[in-house]
Amino acid sequence: MSRITRRPSFLTVPAFAKINLGIEVLGSRQDGYHELRTLFQTISLHDDIELRRRRAPGVVLRCEHPLIPRDETNLAVRAARDLMRHAGLPGGVEIRLTKRIPVAGGLGGGSSDAAAVLMALDRLFELDLGPARLHAFARRLGADVPFFLLGGTALGLGRGDEVYPLEKQLRAEVVVIDMGRPVSTAAVFRRLGAQLTLKENGYTIFRFVSSDWGDRASFRILTNELERSALEEAPDLADTVRRVRRILVGEGALFAGMSGSGSSCFGLFIERAAARRAVKATRAAGFAAHRGRTVTLGGFRRTWSLRFGR
Protein backbone atom coordinates (compact mmCIF):
# COMPACT_ATOMS: atom_id res chain seq x y z
CA MET A 1 0.00 0.00 0.00
CA SER A 2 1.26 3.46 -0.84
CA ARG A 3 1.88 5.98 1.92
CA ILE A 4 2.26 9.71 1.82
CA THR A 5 5.89 10.48 2.60
CA ARG A 6 5.73 14.26 2.45
CA ARG A 7 4.15 15.67 5.58
CA PRO A 8 1.29 17.92 4.54
CA SER A 9 0.76 21.13 6.53
CA PHE A 10 -3.01 20.94 6.23
CA LEU A 11 -5.83 18.47 5.50
CA THR A 12 -9.50 18.82 4.63
CA VAL A 13 -11.75 15.96 5.68
CA PRO A 14 -15.50 15.29 5.75
CA ALA A 15 -17.30 14.50 9.01
CA PHE A 16 -20.37 12.47 8.02
CA ALA A 17 -23.69 12.58 9.88
CA LYS A 18 -25.33 9.41 11.21
CA ILE A 19 -28.85 8.21 11.54
CA ASN A 20 -30.00 5.52 13.96
CA LEU A 21 -32.02 2.94 12.05
CA GLY A 22 -33.19 1.56 15.38
CA ILE A 23 -32.54 2.04 19.12
CA GLU A 24 -33.40 -0.32 21.96
CA VAL A 25 -32.94 0.87 25.53
CA LEU A 26 -32.04 -2.17 27.62
CA GLY A 27 -31.77 -0.60 31.06
CA SER A 28 -29.87 1.90 33.18
CA ARG A 29 -26.24 1.37 34.16
CA GLN A 30 -24.23 1.94 37.33
CA ASP A 31 -22.34 4.79 35.63
CA GLY A 32 -25.56 6.73 35.03
CA TYR A 33 -25.73 5.97 31.30
CA HIS A 34 -28.23 3.68 29.63
CA GLU A 35 -27.43 0.32 28.15
CA LEU A 36 -28.30 0.53 24.47
CA ARG A 37 -28.47 -1.55 21.37
CA THR A 38 -28.53 0.60 18.25
CA LEU A 39 -28.05 0.29 14.53
CA PHE A 40 -25.93 3.19 13.28
CA GLN A 41 -25.66 4.33 9.69
CA THR A 42 -23.40 7.03 8.23
CA ILE A 43 -24.97 9.22 5.55
CA SER A 44 -23.46 11.55 2.96
CA LEU A 45 -24.58 14.77 4.70
CA HIS A 46 -21.35 16.09 6.22
CA ASP A 47 -19.47 18.92 7.89
CA ASP A 48 -16.11 19.94 6.43
CA ILE A 49 -13.08 20.14 8.66
CA GLU A 50 -9.81 21.72 7.65
CA LEU A 51 -6.86 21.13 9.96
CA ARG A 52 -3.78 23.30 9.64
CA ARG A 53 -0.56 23.11 11.63
CA ARG A 54 0.48 26.22 13.54
CA ARG A 55 3.85 27.07 15.02
CA ALA A 56 2.22 28.58 18.10
CA PRO A 57 0.90 26.03 20.61
CA GLY A 58 -2.81 25.57 21.26
CA VAL A 59 -5.95 24.68 19.33
CA VAL A 60 -7.83 27.43 17.54
CA LEU A 61 -11.32 26.80 16.12
CA ARG A 62 -12.87 28.91 13.39
CA CYS A 63 -16.56 28.36 12.70
CA GLU A 64 -19.19 30.81 11.55
CA HIS A 65 -22.22 28.88 12.78
CA PRO A 66 -23.98 30.87 15.53
CA LEU A 67 -24.87 27.79 17.64
CA ILE A 68 -21.38 26.33 17.70
CA PRO A 69 -19.11 27.03 20.67
CA ARG A 70 -15.54 27.94 19.74
CA ASP A 71 -13.96 27.18 23.09
CA GLU A 72 -12.98 23.87 24.66
CA THR A 73 -16.65 22.88 25.01
CA ASN A 74 -16.53 22.15 21.28
CA LEU A 75 -15.90 18.42 20.89
CA ALA A 76 -13.58 19.00 17.93
CA VAL A 77 -11.35 21.23 20.09
CA ARG A 78 -11.36 18.72 22.96
CA ALA A 79 -10.45 15.92 20.56
CA ALA A 80 -7.48 17.89 19.21
CA ARG A 81 -6.28 18.94 22.68
CA ASP A 82 -6.51 15.41 24.10
CA LEU A 83 -4.64 13.76 21.28
CA MET A 84 -2.00 16.48 20.92
CA ARG A 85 -1.28 16.43 24.63
CA HIS A 86 -1.14 12.65 24.79
CA ALA A 87 1.12 12.33 21.74
CA GLY A 88 3.31 15.28 22.83
CA LEU A 89 2.87 16.92 19.42
CA PRO A 90 4.84 20.09 18.75
CA GLY A 91 3.13 23.42 17.96
CA GLY A 92 -0.62 23.75 17.57
CA VAL A 93 -3.45 23.37 15.07
CA GLU A 94 -6.15 25.53 13.59
CA ILE A 95 -9.49 23.84 12.89
CA ARG A 96 -11.84 25.40 10.34
CA LEU A 97 -15.28 23.88 10.71
CA THR A 98 -17.95 24.32 8.05
CA LYS A 99 -21.13 23.15 9.71
CA ARG A 100 -23.88 21.56 7.60
CA ILE A 101 -25.19 18.89 9.97
CA PRO A 102 -28.13 20.32 11.95
CA VAL A 103 -27.00 21.08 15.52
CA ALA A 104 -28.50 19.02 18.37
CA GLY A 105 -30.58 17.18 15.79
CA GLY A 106 -29.76 13.57 16.70
CA LEU A 107 -27.40 13.30 13.72
CA GLY A 108 -24.21 13.11 15.78
CA GLY A 109 -22.58 16.21 14.31
CA GLY A 110 -20.36 17.06 17.27
CA SER A 111 -19.30 13.43 17.72
CA SER A 112 -18.47 13.06 14.05
CA ASP A 113 -16.43 16.27 14.06
CA ALA A 114 -14.47 14.95 17.05
CA ALA A 115 -13.74 11.58 15.40
CA ALA A 116 -12.73 13.27 12.13
CA VAL A 117 -10.31 15.51 14.03
CA LEU A 118 -8.75 12.47 15.75
CA MET A 119 -8.31 10.65 12.45
CA ALA A 120 -7.06 13.71 10.60
CA LEU A 121 -4.46 14.47 13.31
CA ASP A 122 -3.40 10.84 13.16
CA ARG A 123 -2.66 11.37 9.44
CA LEU A 124 -1.34 14.94 9.66
CA PHE A 125 1.27 14.00 12.26
CA GLU A 126 1.79 10.46 10.93
CA LEU A 127 1.07 8.92 14.32
CA ASP A 128 -0.27 5.70 12.78
CA LEU A 129 -2.66 5.02 15.65
CA GLY A 130 -5.64 3.92 13.54
CA PRO A 131 -9.17 3.31 14.88
CA ALA A 132 -8.05 0.69 17.40
CA ARG A 133 -5.75 3.05 19.30
CA LEU A 134 -7.92 6.12 18.77
CA HIS A 135 -10.86 4.29 20.36
CA ALA A 136 -9.88 5.20 23.95
CA PHE A 137 -9.74 8.92 23.06
CA ALA A 138 -13.03 8.65 21.20
CA ARG A 139 -14.84 6.96 24.12
CA ARG A 140 -13.71 9.64 26.55
CA LEU A 141 -15.12 12.34 24.27
CA GLY A 142 -18.61 10.82 24.00
CA ALA A 143 -20.57 7.64 23.54
CA ASP A 144 -21.25 8.22 19.81
CA VAL A 145 -17.68 9.19 18.88
CA PRO A 146 -16.21 5.64 18.42
CA PHE A 147 -18.77 4.82 15.72
CA PHE A 148 -17.42 7.64 13.56
CA LEU A 149 -13.95 6.04 13.53
CA LEU A 150 -15.46 3.23 11.42
CA GLY A 151 -18.67 4.44 9.74
CA GLY A 152 -21.04 2.38 7.56
CA THR A 153 -23.84 0.22 8.93
CA ALA A 154 -22.83 -0.88 12.42
CA LEU A 155 -24.24 -2.29 15.64
CA GLY A 156 -23.63 -0.14 18.73
CA LEU A 157 -23.73 -1.79 22.19
CA GLY A 158 -23.01 -0.63 25.73
CA ARG A 159 -23.44 3.16 25.79
CA GLY A 160 -23.35 2.86 21.98
CA ASP A 161 -19.56 3.01 22.14
CA GLU A 162 -18.92 -0.68 21.47
CA VAL A 163 -19.20 -0.71 17.71
CA TYR A 164 -19.40 -3.69 15.39
CA PRO A 165 -19.70 -3.10 11.62
CA LEU A 166 -22.15 -5.42 9.88
CA GLU A 167 -21.05 -7.58 7.00
CA LYS A 168 -24.14 -6.47 5.11
CA GLN A 169 -24.23 -2.72 4.43
CA LEU A 170 -27.30 -0.63 3.70
CA ARG A 171 -27.37 1.07 0.30
CA ALA A 172 -30.22 3.55 0.06
CA GLU A 173 -31.16 7.10 -0.80
CA VAL A 174 -31.72 9.17 2.32
CA VAL A 175 -33.83 12.27 2.87
CA VAL A 176 -33.11 14.13 6.12
CA ILE A 177 -35.54 16.67 7.50
CA ASP A 178 -34.06 19.35 9.74
CA MET A 179 -36.93 20.14 12.11
CA GLY A 180 -35.15 23.37 13.11
CA ARG A 181 -35.62 22.53 16.76
CA PRO A 182 -32.64 21.46 18.90
CA VAL A 183 -33.44 18.74 21.44
CA SER A 184 -31.05 18.02 24.31
CA THR A 185 -29.90 14.41 24.27
CA ALA A 186 -29.17 14.53 28.02
CA ALA A 187 -32.72 15.73 28.76
CA VAL A 188 -34.24 12.94 26.66
CA PHE A 189 -32.21 10.30 28.53
CA ARG A 190 -33.19 11.85 31.88
CA ARG A 191 -36.88 11.46 30.98
CA LEU A 192 -36.26 7.89 30.00
CA GLY A 193 -34.71 7.16 33.40
CA ALA A 194 -37.94 8.03 35.15
CA GLN A 195 -40.16 5.83 33.03
CA LEU A 196 -37.89 2.88 32.35
CA THR A 197 -39.42 -0.43 33.28
CA LEU A 198 -37.49 -3.64 33.03
CA LYS A 199 -38.77 -5.53 30.06
CA GLU A 200 -37.95 -8.51 27.99
CA ASN A 201 -37.26 -6.53 24.84
CA GLY A 202 -38.23 -7.73 21.41
CA TYR A 203 -34.73 -8.06 19.90
CA THR A 204 -35.91 -5.84 17.06
CA ILE A 205 -32.39 -5.26 15.71
CA PHE A 206 -31.64 -8.97 15.70
CA ARG A 207 -34.87 -9.60 13.83
CA PHE A 208 -34.09 -6.81 11.37
CA VAL A 209 -30.50 -7.85 10.59
CA SER A 210 -31.61 -11.41 10.02
CA SER A 211 -34.32 -10.31 7.57
CA ASP A 212 -33.54 -9.42 3.95
CA TRP A 213 -33.88 -5.61 4.49
CA GLY A 214 -35.52 -5.43 1.11
CA ASP A 215 -39.02 -4.30 1.90
CA ARG A 216 -41.14 -2.24 4.24
CA ALA A 217 -41.99 -5.28 6.35
CA SER A 218 -38.37 -5.75 7.48
CA PHE A 219 -37.96 -2.07 8.35
CA ARG A 220 -41.25 -2.07 10.22
CA ILE A 221 -39.57 -4.30 12.84
CA LEU A 222 -37.27 -1.43 13.88
CA THR A 223 -38.12 0.90 16.75
CA ASN A 224 -36.59 4.03 18.23
CA GLU A 225 -37.16 3.70 21.95
CA LEU A 226 -36.00 7.28 22.54
CA GLU A 227 -38.74 8.81 20.42
CA ARG A 228 -41.40 8.86 23.09
CA SER A 229 -39.16 10.69 25.56
CA ALA A 230 -37.97 13.04 22.81
CA LEU A 231 -41.55 14.03 22.07
CA GLU A 232 -42.27 14.48 25.76
CA GLU A 233 -39.25 16.75 25.94
CA ALA A 234 -40.40 18.65 22.83
CA PRO A 235 -44.19 18.20 22.71
CA ASP A 236 -44.46 20.94 20.08
CA LEU A 237 -42.82 18.50 17.66
CA ALA A 238 -45.31 15.66 17.90
CA ASP A 239 -47.61 16.93 15.17
CA THR A 240 -44.84 17.96 12.81
CA VAL A 241 -43.05 14.62 13.16
CA ARG A 242 -46.30 12.84 12.30
CA ARG A 243 -46.78 15.11 9.25
CA VAL A 244 -43.22 14.60 8.02
CA ARG A 245 -43.52 10.84 8.38
CA ARG A 246 -46.78 10.84 6.45
CA ILE A 247 -45.21 12.81 3.60
CA LEU A 248 -42.11 10.60 3.42
CA VAL A 249 -44.10 7.37 3.46
CA GLY A 250 -46.59 8.84 0.99
CA GLU A 251 -43.72 9.48 -1.43
CA GLY A 252 -42.60 5.87 -1.16
CA ALA A 253 -40.13 5.75 1.73
CA LEU A 254 -39.15 2.22 2.69
CA PHE A 255 -38.84 3.53 6.21
CA ALA A 256 -39.28 6.89 7.94
CA GLY A 257 -38.19 7.64 11.48
CA MET A 258 -36.65 10.03 13.95
CA SER A 259 -32.88 9.85 14.38
CA GLY A 260 -31.41 9.28 17.85
CA SER A 261 -32.93 11.58 20.44
CA GLY A 262 -34.30 13.84 17.69
CA SER A 263 -35.35 16.09 16.37
CA SER A 264 -34.22 15.30 12.80
CA CYS A 265 -36.33 12.83 10.85
CA PHE A 266 -35.27 10.76 7.88
CA GLY A 267 -36.70 8.65 5.09
CA LEU A 268 -34.97 5.77 3.27
CA PHE A 269 -35.71 5.24 -0.41
CA ILE A 270 -34.62 2.77 -3.03
CA GLU A 271 -35.40 5.02 -6.00
CA ARG A 272 -33.63 8.33 -6.40
CA ALA A 273 -36.69 9.77 -8.16
CA ALA A 274 -38.87 9.00 -5.13
CA ALA A 275 -36.31 10.64 -2.82
CA ARG A 276 -36.34 13.72 -5.06
CA ARG A 277 -40.14 13.84 -4.90
CA ALA A 278 -40.02 13.52 -1.11
CA VAL A 279 -37.62 16.48 -0.87
CA LYS A 280 -39.94 18.55 -3.03
CA ALA A 281 -43.01 17.57 -1.03
CA THR A 282 -41.44 18.23 2.38
CA ARG A 283 -40.05 21.58 1.21
CA ALA A 284 -43.47 22.51 -0.15
CA ALA A 285 -44.86 21.78 3.32
CA GLY A 286 -42.35 24.25 4.78
CA PHE A 287 -39.59 21.92 6.01
CA ALA A 288 -35.85 22.06 5.37
CA ALA A 289 -34.91 18.85 3.56
CA HIS A 290 -31.59 17.41 2.46
CA ARG A 291 -31.14 14.52 0.01
CA GLY A 292 -28.16 12.17 0.08
CA ARG A 293 -27.17 8.51 0.34
CA THR A 294 -26.05 6.07 2.95
CA VAL A 295 -22.25 5.85 3.29
CA THR A 296 -21.24 2.20 3.60
CA LEU A 297 -18.23 0.87 5.51
CA GLY A 298 -16.38 0.55 2.19
CA GLY A 299 -17.41 4.04 1.10
CA PHE A 300 -16.24 5.48 4.43
CA ARG A 301 -12.86 3.73 4.15
CA ARG A 302 -12.45 4.79 0.52
CA THR A 303 -13.07 8.42 1.43
CA TRP A 304 -10.27 8.31 3.97
CA SER A 305 -7.84 6.25 1.89
CA LEU A 306 -8.34 8.29 -1.30
CA ARG A 307 -7.56 11.42 0.60
CA PHE A 308 -4.43 10.10 2.25
CA GLY A 309 -3.15 7.43 -0.11
CA ARG A 310 -3.59 4.53 2.29
Pairing type for strands 153-158 and 173-178 reads unpaired
Residue 113 touching ligand ATP (CB under 6 A): yes
Question: For this structure, is 144 an active site residue?
Answer: yes
Tell me the C-alpha distance between 4 and 19, whole Å: 33
Measured from the CB atom, the residue of 152 and 262 that comes closer to ligand ATP is 262
| Separation in Å, CA 307 to CA 68, 74, 85, 124, 301 | 27, 25, 25, 12, 10
Task: Choose, by CB under 6 A, the member of 38, 229, 261, 296 that binds ligand ATP.
Answer: 261
Task: Tell the smallest beta-carbon distance from residue 185 to ligand ATP (Å).
Answer: 4
* Residue 69-88 contact track with ligand ATP, rule CB under 6 A, x = bound: x---xxxx------------
Task: Choose, by CB under 6 A, the member of 24, 36, 80, 108 that binds ligand ATP.
Answer: 108
Question: For this structure, is 48 an active site residue?
Answer: no
Q: What number of other Cβ atoms are within 10 A of residue 86's Cβ?
A: 12
Residue 115 touching ligand ATP (CB under 6 A): no
Measured from the CB atom, the residue of 108 and 152 that comes closer to ligand ATP is 108
**Cβ atoms of residues 65 and 99 within 8 Å:** yes
In the DSSP assignment, the letter for residue 92 is E
Residue nearest to ligand ATP (CB): 110
Task: Choose, by CB under 6 A, the member of 185, 224, 229, 294 that binds ligand ATP.
Answer: 185
Pairing type for strands 58-62 and 162-165 reads unpaired
Task: Tell the smallest beta-carbon distance from residue 33 to ligand ATP (Å).
Answer: 12
**Of 19, 7, 158, 146, residue with least CA distance to 89:** 7
Residue 38 touching ligand ATP (CB under 6 A): no
Tell me the C-alpha distance between 290 and 269, whole Å: 13
Instruction: Give the residues lining the site for ligand ATP (CB under 6 A).
Output: 68-69, 73-76, 103-111, 113, 142, 144, 185, 260-261
Q: So which residues are the catalytic ones? A: 18, 144
